[in-house]
Structure 1
Amino acid sequence: MSRNGQDTSQWTLDYPPFFAWFEYALSQFAGWFDKEMLKVENVNYRSPATILFQQLTVILTDFVYIYAVKEIYQYFRSIQAKTADLENIFQSSSLVQADRHMSAAFWFALLLNLKHLYLYVAPAYFVYLLRCYVFQNKSDGSIDWQSLSIMRLLGLGGTVISVFTLSLGPFIMLRGLCHAYWAPNFWALYNVADKMASVAGTRLGFVPPGNQTVSMTGGLVREFDHTFLPSVSPLATLVLSGLSMMPSLLMLWARPRGPQSFVRALILCGFGSFMFGWHVHEKAILMIIIPMGLLILERKTDASLFLVMSTVGHYSLFPLLFTQCETPIKIGLLLLTTIYAFSSFSNMYKASGGPTRLPLLSFIETLYLLGLLPLEVYTSLVHPLIGLSQPLPFLPLLLTSVYTSVGVTYCWFRFYLNTYMEQEMSRSSKLEKID
């Protein structure tokens, strides 16, 4: 930003325009605490009143999240069967009902223009609304192409386009492929494979030391060329993200079994964007974990997969809380939620563990999650104690990213398999009823 022709900050607004309006609304109250924080030129300004205001705004806006949790709790309290409606759970997807599709389209478009992270799951919304609102089903569950409603299609399109036109206008945003800390996705594994090949090639004489490319763990957000593997372009990540989503969207289009299918497509779209997207932020893992929690009553396999994904996914966020005073807090919170999840799920499914595995998990899954313990001991204690913080400052980030990438990738493959198998079981069941 600039004022009077002078740059006042190296940072730009890293959100869609509606978020700027949200910040503007907050600024109307900020002056009551400390007017100095509203001066644009005070880039690094901080004061006790400013910190208090920021903390209070976080607490205040968290009441939206608390309300959503209350709605989820009431739903699970009232659920009578595993096949019950899941439509009343999400704040935006709760509007995906017979007479509220237009509201769902409006609020989700508004959500997209507050935070572009929700673009991950937009394809699932698009397919579901098109398939279940613009078109109707035949008696056998297949699509009735003659039921196309032009008025509904124009209504949905007009609603979404009007919101985006009001918000975006001419804005365009470009970013790099990776953060200093790699999100635990496919590119983390891709990068470390190229890094290992580069180091091995240098030591074996295949790659001259002077020809090595920019370090991927240098602590900066930048674009770089890989040494052995093909370098990645934004177009390549877009194509891979789209291809990874396509099977789930096709399943949702072909056999929409109501909200359960929508939630599964939502998760798989989140997975696809997270695994292959361009410049993925680590916290985007929450776009997968949270909706996965809505399926824990569906079947035992979904509950076990959620246990793995939530544990490794939340651990992957540890590097975002990097000060020493935050270490016991983040470890304590993860242990508390993980122990509670395993305890409650094992009671729910009457499952017990054993000397070689945790409840609901296989031996390999148990071994993998237990591997997080020595990883945390090394990154938090051993690495700084043995004096590697200066020569290899980003080694803990590299280890955390690669290790958690393995778990996230496993969950992605297994969840896709579970969704496909459920689709086939549903299809076979319907065929048996017809016969």
Structure 2
Amino acid sequence: MESVVVVSTCIKALLFPAYRSTDFEVHRNWLAITHNLPLKEWYYEKTSQWTLDYPPFFAYFEYIISRFAMLLGLDERILELTEAGYSSDTTVWFQRSSVILSELVLVLATWRWYKAADSTVSRQQQLIIAASLIMHPGLLIVDHIHFQYNGFMYGIMLLSIVEAKKGRLLISGVIFAILLNFKHIYLYIAPAYFFYLLRAYCFETKNGHPSSFSIRRLVVLGASVVAVFALSLGPFVYMGQLPQVFARLFPFTRGLCHAYWAPNFWALWAGLDRALIIVAKKYGWTGLNEAALGAMTRGFVGDTEFAVLPSIAPMTTLILTILAQTASLVFPRLWQRPTFDNFLASLTLCGFASFLFGWHVHEKAILLILIPISLLATKSQASLRLFSILSIVGCYSLFPLLFTLPEYPIKSLVLALWTLVILPMLAHSMNTTVTAVLTTLDKIYLAGLIPVHLYTSIGHYLLFGTHRLEFLPLMIISYYTAIGVCWGWIGMVHAYLSGQLESAITPKEKAY
């Protein structure tokens, strides 16, 4: 375990000079906001376009980092409020280091996961899963090149999951409430926590099964969660700023699709619309939405309209998300059998449904599926198959985040090495092979990623240069990976309902 952490840290340090996105300046600006301004001005400040739009706990986290920047006596301009932004070698070194250090939370969580091994899984398998998370290509791409703090927050999520595995459900719920106040994207998986804690914690157990409902436990759980939110939002409630905070956290004026289509159902919908436009022009169809022609894939984040297919309203995405979570019997099954395995599967499916059908989903949200499904990888050959497909496809879908030339070999090598090391090791620990658990259709689809990668990274530019059909490579990657993600969701729903994501032996009382 220690060697994995050391190697991982060295690799991440080597990535310091790599490409960094505008998120780097976003977080530098948040350091400046929290350092220079009083609390009452944090969610009103707009000198830079990169305004503070994360919940208060993350703002407090940025404030703590800013204090370290000041105490270390680094470049004073790191903490300067400026519209133009600022970057220097010292700034890069400091902020990149802060990501690595904050990710120690993930290291702690994976170590606790490793120690939580029981009769249903071997220590070897737990170690492989822990190593796969610490070296996860998705986190390397998003956090240590593109730049964010996802490893830190997924570490908090994993700590909550470990507490649930150990049967300490109240602590698990409190940690998850803390996580929600770091980043509100985790609201996507909140329904799984709600149903699980209500059934497994708020009901007294008898002979290992929930029996009578406990008002006392409900009050304790509710009070604990409210206390966390009071600590986070209380100052803003007192200052009458809660509407302003929520306006920053939930900007519903953004469109259905992000500038790069996340590989979900709406990518398929948008891709179909573009294909129908070609057909419509060829056959002279009338009544097309002229405003939508040419708008898609242009990087806009306003209202998303379609030329042929019906446009989608936010309420539609909400209804579809709820249906995707309930129509597959996620919650009824969890209610009937509130085991830890069912909770973990439901949590993953909640993230899945929100990613597939949510409004203005970012491609980085695929991690909300990839991280928890890692913990399910050893449950059965079916779970190993799903883990393999979704990990490869999901990580590949993040490649467009790194579009500069030096990062092409880096992202390709990182994903290839992780795939060739982690997946065979997990399969070997389960007395099988990766090729044995994949179907013929799976293998054909995954093999198709090779020509897709070659065309989108090299072939397209040899044929068309850099200024013609410049969004076509993004459309191809998004559409192709969306097929794989949707296929993985169907497979996971089937595996969940058929009991293939539950351990054959459930540790006594662990789920309660």
Query: Does the alignment reach a TM-score above 0.5?
Result: yes
Amino acid at match of 1:363: T
Give the alignment's TM-score, normalised by structure 2: 0.75
Alpha carbons of structure 1 residues 209 and 233: separation in structure 2 relative to 1, 3 Å: closer
Residue equivalent to 1:213: 292
Deviations 1:242-279 (CA, angstroms, capped at 9, x unpaired): 111122112101222x2111111111111111111111
Distance in 1 separating the partners of 2:284 and 2:87: 52
1:349 equivalent in alignment to 2:426: no
SS of 1:391 mapped into structure 2: coil
Quick one: distance in 2 between partners of 1:329 and 1:350?
32
Between the two proteins, the alignment pairs up a number of residues equal to 416
Residues 1:126 and 2:194 are matched in the alignment: yes
Aligned twin of 1:188: 267
Q: Secondary structure at the match of 1:136?
A: strand
In the alignment, is residue 47 of structure 1 matched against residue 127 of structure 2?
A: no
Distance 1:294 1:421, change over 3 A: same
Deviation per CA, 1:311-340, whole angstroms, max 9, x where unpaired? 101111111111111111110010001111
TM-score, normalising length from structure 1? 0.88
Structure 1 unaligned spans of 5+? 430-435
Partner of 2:47: 8
Q: CA, structure 1 residues 339+359, in 2 after alignment: closer, same or farther (shift >3 Å)?
A: farther
Alignment of 1:169-180 (within 5 A): 169-170=242-243, 171-172=245-246, 173-175=250-252, 176=254, 177-180=256-259
Distance 1:421 1:111, change over 3 A: same
Name the counterpart of 1:402: 479
Match of 1:432 in 2: none
User: CA RMSD, aligned part only?
Assistant: 2.9
Structure 1 residues 315-326: aligned runs within 5 Å: 315-326=396-407
Tell me which stretches of 4 or more aligned residues in structure 1 moved more than 4 Å: 1-7, 137-141, 423-427
Counterparts in 2 of 1:102 and 1:80: CA distance versus 1, 3 Å? closer
Q: Does 1:296 align with 2:373?
A: no
1:363 deviates by 1.1
Report if the CA contact (8 A) 1:241-1:277 is conserved: yes
The match for 2:445 is: 368
Q: CA deviation at 1:387?
A: 2.4
Which one of 207, 213, 227 corresponds to residue 148 of structure 1?
213
Instruction: Tell me whether 1:330 sits opposite 2:411 in the alignment.
Output: yes
Higher mean C-alpha deviation, range 230-239 or range 371-380: 230-239
Residues 1:103 and 1:402: Cα distance change in structure 2 (over 3 Å) = same
In the alignment, what sits opposite 1:61?
Answer: 102
User: Structure 2: how far apart are the matches of 1:216 and 1:426?
Assistant: 44
Aligned residues of 2:341 and 2:503 also touching (Cα < 8 A): no
Question: Which residue number in structure 2 is paired with residue 23 of structure 1?
Answer: 62
Give the secondary-structure state (helix, strand or coil) at the position aligned to 2:182.
Answer: coil
The CA deviation at 1:99 is: 6.8
For 1:230, give the aligned amino acid. Answer: P
Q: Which residue of structure 2 lines up, in the alignment, with residue 236 of structure 1?
A: 316
What whole-Å deviation, never above 9, does each CA across 1:284-316 have from its counterpart, x for those lacking one?
Answer: 111111211212221111111111111101111
1:40-90 CA distance string (max 9 Å, x none): 125321111111111110111121122222233344xx5433499x9xx93
Please point out which of 224, 230, 239 is paired with 2:304. Answer: 224
Checking the alignment, whether the CA contact within 8 Å between 2:379 and 2:500 is kept in structure 1 is no
Asked whether the 8 Å contact 1:36–1:42 carries over to 2, the reply is no
TM-superposed deviation, 1:164: 2.6
Preserved CA contact (<8 Å) 1:179 1:220: yes
Distance 1:208 1:148, change over 3 A: closer
In 2, the alpha carbon distance for the partners of 1:238 and 1:300 equals: 33
Task: Answer whether contact 1:307 1:341 (CA < 8 A) is retained.
Answer: no
Q: Distance in 1 between matches of 2:446 and 2:264?
A: 17
Q: Secondary structure at the match of 2:437?
A: coil
Cα distance in structure 1, aligned partners of 2:364 and 2:393: 12
Deviation of residue 160 (structure 1)?
A: 1.9
Structure 1, 171-180 or 411-420: larger mean CA deviation: 171-180
- Residues 244, 387 of structure 1: CA spacing in aligned structure 2 closer, same or farther, 3 A cutoff? same
2:103 is paired with a residue whose SS is helix
Distance in 2, matches of 1:220 and 1:325, equals 27
- Does residue 1:254 correspond to 2:336, yes or no? yes
Farther-moved stretch of structure 1 (245-254 vs 221-230): 221-230
Partner residue of 2:458 out of 362, 376, 381: 381
Q: Give the 3 Å change call, closer, same or farther, for CA 185–97 of structure 1 in structure 2.
A: closer
- CA drift at 1:139: 5.0
Whole-Å separation in 1 of the counterparts to 2:228 and 2:273: 42
Secondary structure at the residue paired with 2:406? helix
Query: Does the 8 Å contact 1:241/1:276 carry over to 2?
Result: yes
Of 111, 136, 144 in structure 1, the residue corresponding to residue 204 of structure 2 is: 136
Cα deviation code 1:83-131 (max 9, x no counterpart): 99x9xx9311222268733322221111011112211211111111000
CA distance in 2, matches of 1:386, 1:290: 37
Residues 363 and 60 (structure 1), Cα distance of their counterparts in 2 relative to 1, 3 Å cut: same
Q: Within 1, Cα distance between the matches of 2:94 and 2:428?
A: 42
Contact 2:49–2:83 (CA<8 Å) still a contact in 1?
no
Give the partner amino acid of 1:391: R
Matched, 1:412 2:494: no
Cα deviation for residue 378 of structure 1 reads 0.7
Is the CA contact 1:184–1:408 (under 8 Å) kept in the aligned structure 2?
A: yes
Partner of residue 279, structure 2: 200
Give how far 1:425 is off.
9.7
Q: Is the 8 A contact 1:313 1:404 kept in 2?
A: yes
Q: Match for 2:302: what amino acid?
A: R
In structure 2, give the amino acid aligned to 1:9.
Answer: S
The verdict on how the C-alpha distance between 1:341 and 1:97 changes in structure 2, with shifts beyond 3 A counting, is: closer
Matching residue's letter, 2:463: I
Q: Give the aligned residue type for 1:128.
A: Y
In the other structure, the counterpart of 1:160 is: 225
DSSP-derived class of the 1:307 partner: helix
- Distance of 1:318 and 1:242 partners within structure 2: 29
Cα drift, residue 228 of structure 1 = 2.3
Q: Distance in 1 between matches of 2:190 and 2:366?
A: 16
